[in-house]
Amino acid sequence: MQTTIIVATHKPYWVPDDPMYLPVQMGHAIHPAIGYIGDDTGKNISERNANFCELTGLYWAAHNIDSDYIGIVHYRRYFASRRKSRFAAKKSRVISHEELCSILATTNVVLPKERHYFIETNYTQYIHAHHKR
């Protein structure tokens, strides 16, 4: 099974050694190159990165990568392995292709654990991170 998880990035950073992970510079068409493949080759919307953020990379991957599964993670936020203690070193807990394949054998979509915001509403949490209007 061919699996590619693009690592959405805008600056050089640590990337797992697993070949499943492909660092992709978001907004490559409008930002200086940082040494990773950009989201501006083949069919792309890279020039719209200011409005669509990492979705320009996901669009690029969907139209230019030939894999059975395509995923996206942020350059500092990876899925954690179920097999490793939550107290293990952070980099060692990044999910491997082998473990992901065993998960995908029983499901089609992998999402992070649901978070519960008890101290504020979705609206107040949103306006803390975005423009109110």
Extents of the domains making up the chain: 3-129
What's the chain's Rg over C-alpha atoms? 16
The predicted structure's pLDDT at residue 8: 97
> For residue 84, what pLDDT is reported?
77
What pLDDT does 28 receive? 97
| More confidently predicted of 6 and 125 | 6
User: Sign of the CA dihedral 44, 46, 50, 56?
Assistant: positive
Residue 29 token pair: 């068409």
First to last CA, the chain: 44
Which comes out higher in pLDDT, residue 132 or 74?
Answer: 74
In this prediction the pTM is 0.81
3-state SS, residue 126: helix
The 10s digit of each residue's pLDDT in 32-83 is 999 999 999 999 999 999 999 999 999 999 999 999 999 999 998 998 887 7
Q: Which pLDDT value is given to residue 118? A: 76
